[in-house]
Amino acid sequence: MTTRRAWAALVVLSLAAFAFVTTELLPIGLLTVMAPDLDRSRSQVGLLVSGYAVVVVLASIPLTLLTQRVPRRQLLTVTMVVFAAADLAGALAPTYAILAGSRLITALTQALFWSVAAPAVTGLFPVGKRGRVVALFGVGPALAPVLGVPLCTWLGQQTGWRTAFVLMAVFGVVTAVAVAALIPSYAPADGGAARGTAPDRREFRIIVVVTAVGITGFLTFSTYVTPFLLDVSGFGAGALAPLLFVAGAAGTLGTIAVSRTLDRHPVGSMLVPLAIGAAALLALAALGGLRPVTALLLGGQGLAYAAFATALQNRMLQVAPGSTDLASATLGSAFNVGIAAGSLLGGALLPGYGPRSLALTGGLLVVAAVAMLAADLCKKPANQIH
């Protein structure tokens, strides 16, 4: 495979990741638009995020096992086609129940995509470029909060939330065509990133737990960020899209910044973003009524979330104890356990304790993740810390 084609394949899969993250998070930006249209509460619309994540958790490993012999080109192409069809079905859904069903199908495609995409794309490049490749792949999902969610939020406010789902369906079709044209057809076991470069079962297990706890913290707040911005900070509805853009832009910067440290300091590249995220969330709980400060802190937690997610993918490719597809599926399940748990926890806290409690609870959970990762680092001999 030519170098130019490999880089083109990287861009396409990064854009596909952009589409998945945007679609997963659509109800967050459109929360206040979808709730009255579907005659549901904000918490019930938030369940479209948590339910989505539960499906990803349950389906990632089984789907990876079922498709482990399917060539990557065919598998990823079909995945994107089904993704597009499910988004279109969501746009046309007449009821909340049918919309939830379409989200279930989309979640199945995401479960499979995230299990195979990172190993598929990094396998096209030499090991020495893995950190850079993972970071560049991460730009797509990092841009989802910058461009995807704010654009769809604005579009939903202007023309109705269904238009946003149609847009993502069209994006899915275009991406499917590009994947079919660029991704080479090979069995998973033949890929250059089929196995971890430094297998470590114990560290992999710790990363999985830290992921679940840390992402729960981030999503406890961010799933219901719009009520926080409206009710605690006092922003108007017109400010939501620009503020989500701020958080997403910071996430893109975080992804680019962490790319410089992934290969040399893989553990530190996870630890530092977590610490920044914990500080930002706790500060939001205390200072969320100050609008300029809130905008700054929102950027801080966006930067931390994206950088942490990118560092996780990189470390997984290093310490995966067996197949990187299965390791990626396991990590993806842990990630979505965090998304589901955060969404459910936030939905439970929101009616009784208000939006400010979400930032405090989320911050404390991210502090717990920092503590676990730091404790594991302290247990290692100095010559094993890298």
What is the average pLDDT across 238-263? 85
- pLDDT over 90 for what percent of the chain? 42
Split at pLDDT 50, 70, 90, the class of 368 is: very high
1: pLDDT strictly greater than 70? no
Question: How far apart (Å, rounded) are the C-alpha atoms in residues 176 and 83?
Answer: 9
Query: Distance between CA atoms of 91 and 111, rounded to whole angstroms?
Result: 21
List Cα–Cα distances, 362 to 10, 122, 243, 331, in angstroms: 33, 32, 19, 20
The predicted model gives 137-150 an average pLDDT of 83
204-230: average pLDDT = 93
Interval 179-204 mean pLDDT: 76
State how far the Cα of 203 lies from the Cα of 206, in Å rounded to an integer: 5
Buried b (16+ CB within 10 A) or exposed e, 186-221: bebeebebbbbeeebeebbebbbebbbbbbbbbbbb
3-class DSSP state of 195: strand
pLDDT at 221 over 90: yes
What confidence score (pLDDT) does residue 383 get?
A: 45
CATH superfamily of 3-384: MFS general substrate transporter like domains (1.20.1250.20)
Domain boundaries, the chain: 3-384
Question: What's the pTM?
Answer: 0.79
| Stretch 54-79: mean pLDDT | 89
Task: Give the pLDDT score at 189.
Answer: 60
Paired residues of 195 in beta bridges: 323
pLDDT of residue 216: 96
Supply the pLDDT for residue 259.
Answer: 85
Q: Which of 354, 364, 312 is nearest to 333 (CA)?
A: 312
Q: Is pLDDT larger for residue 291 or for residue 142? A: 291
